Every structure is written in C-alpha cells, then in structure tokens.
Amino acid sequence: MSTAYTMQTAPKALFDYDKYWASCFEPAPFLPMSREEMEQLGWDACDFILVCGDA
C-alpha cells in the first residue's frame, strides 16, 4: 500500500504575485461611452461593458 504525502504551504499573499503586464500603463483619463471615444484612447476592444438604466 502506498501512502501519498502532500506538502501544505501557506497561501501566497495577494500583493506577493508579479504585477500584470498592463501595470506599466496609466489608468484611462475617462471611461469611453462610444466607439469614437475608444478610438481616442487607442482601445480596439473593451474588457467588459457595463449597461445601466433607469426607468
């Protein structure tokens, strides 16, 4: 019978991870609300689109 040993390590702290490649860029000065504004920022795509409405 074989026994499997597992080594448990402490979880890595959130800020100990390497920074994402985009961290070298500054935050956008504004959030675009149209394709034209995306082009002004030099964006070719959005990471997400937030749709909010008020009736």
Domain ranges of the chain: 31-55
DSSP per-residue codes, 20-45: PGGGGSPPPSS---SHHHHHHHT-SS
Q: Which tens digit of pLDDT belongs to each residue from 1-55?
A: 666 777 788 888 988 888 888 778 888 999 999 999 999 999 999 888 888 887 6
For the whole model, what pTM was predicted?
A: 0.51
Q: Are 46 and 38 in contact (CB under 8 A)?
A: yes
C-alpha to C-alpha distance for 20 and 26, rounded to whole angstroms: 13
| pLDDT for res 2 | 66
| pLDDT for res 38 | 94
| pLDDT for res 44 | 94
Q: Are 32 and 41 in contact (CB under 8 A)?
A: yes
| pLDDT for res 36 | 96
Rg of the chain in Å (alpha carbons) = 21
Longest dimension (CA), the chain: 67
